[in-house]
Amino acid sequence: MSSAEAAYAALREGIVSGQHAGGARLEEETLAAALGVSRTPVREALRRLHAEGLVQVEPRRGARVSTWGAEELDEIFELRALVEGYGAARAATRVTEAQLAQLEDLCEAMEEAACAPGGADHALIGRLNNELHAAVHRAASSRYVAGLLTSLVQIPLVVRTFQRYQPEELARSMGHHRELVAALRAGRPEWAEAVMHAHVEAARATLRRDLGAEPAGEPAAMER
């Protein structure tokens, strides 16, 4: 892996994981020293992250981790529901038996992580959730779906939605995954699309509640 790729991977993980908080300054010299590289690969990494929407670059003020307001997050989830719903519908007519087996394994692993003896392992659940959604995207066999979703699903607030879930919300999410796999196995595009829409909208309601835009226990009535 080149220095530029390593710097990009490290900085991206730092932003997505929340190590670099929204609005934090990203100084090339400081980052280069921390990563053990020169400023050139850091500069290239920041350009790539800016293109993905994870970093804001302002003239004469340098780079900062992007921030998102409630209205922007609503739009992001609206787009996710549309694109992931389309992807799920497409996957229902193309998914293979091997892909279905992988999805079922991921569902089981997430359920085990949710019932861990010391409490739900939200970090593991988040990683497994990303794998499950990526597997559905691959099953859709579309050159566009995964690319369109790359920046939408990697926004830090979206990535860490599972850490905000109450037990009943986590159980509902697990149920959505199982129903989605059932719809895919049945080859029912409309069913798969509806489940994915509901899944994304439920995550949006949780995020809105935690950001103070939604009363607890009252999912938003979002317009489409």
Q: Are residues 13 and 95 in the same domain?
A: no
Beta bridge pairs of residue 109: none
Residue finishing a domain among 33, 65, 97: 65
Looking at residue 157, its pLDDT comes to 62
Give the tens place of pLDDT for each residue, 117-141: 888 898 889 889 989 999 999 999 9
Radius of gyration over every alpha carbon of the chain, rounded to an integer in angstroms = 19
Q: Are residues 92 and 177 in the same domain?
A: yes
Looking at residue 224, its pLDDT comes to 25
Looking at residue 98, its pLDDT comes to 98
Domain CATH number, residue 79: 1.20.120.530
- CA dihedral over 214, 223, 202, 65, signed as positive or negative: negative
Q: Are residues 117 and 14 in the same domain?
A: no
Q: Are residues 131 and 153 in the same domain?
A: yes
Q: Residue 46 contacts by C-beta under 8 Å, 6 or more apart in sequence?
A: 11, 26, 28, 55, 57, 63
Q: Are residues 22 and 86 in the same domain?
A: no
- 33 assigned to some structural domain: yes
- Which residues of the chain, if any, have pLDDT below 50? 214-224
Q: How far apart are CA 171 and CA 155, in angstroms?
A: 23
Reported residue count of the chain is: 224
